[in-house]
Amino acid sequence: MSRIGNNPIEIPEGATVEVQDNTITVKGKLGELTQEYSGVSIKAEDGQVVVTRPSESKEHKAKHGLYRSLISNMILGVTNGWSKELELVGVGYRATNQGQKLDLALGFSHNIVLNLAPEVKVETISEKGKTQL
């Protein structure tokens, strides 16, 4: 029994899911993603996406959870995007940014400067004793 694959995926407001042949397309405010699938059946009804498998074979069980997770990540990506918060803890560790350049002071003899891609947004918050990225 797949614990992940059996859970239905809620479709939030502002997102649309289309299932055609062996392709699923998810559209949202941040873009559009498409994924081909095989070995499972996918239905988008009543504000939910449900993934089912035709048999209990090992291959179908593996694809059941895989495609459910991929679709869930696609919906999350086109609605909210992806974010990661980091916290620097320690004496002398600092991070600052100027536009798309991230300057990290991590205890080396020199600072590490990273040039970020235009799609990536970075924000540094410095509090006494903490630095958050």
- How many Å apart are CA 126 and CA 133, to the nearest integer? 9
Residue 43 lies in a domain: yes
pLDDT level of residue 128 (50, 70, 90 thresholds): confident
- Global pTM reads 0.74
One domain, residues 75 and 91? no
Domain of 14, CATH number, reads 3.90.930.12
Show the domain range for 100.
87-132
Model pLDDT for residues 25-73, shown as the tens digit of each residue: 999 999 999 999 999 999 999 999 999 999 999 999 999 999 999 999 9
Measured in degrees and rounded to the nearest 5, phi and psi for residue 121 equal -110, 135
Residue 93 lies in a domain: yes
- How many Å apart are CA 7 and CA 51, to the nearest integer? 8
One domain, residues 98 and 50? no
One domain, residues 14 and 31? yes
One domain, residues 17 and 63? yes
Distances (CA, A) of 100 to 92, 110, 128: 23, 19, 24
Number of domains in the chain: 2
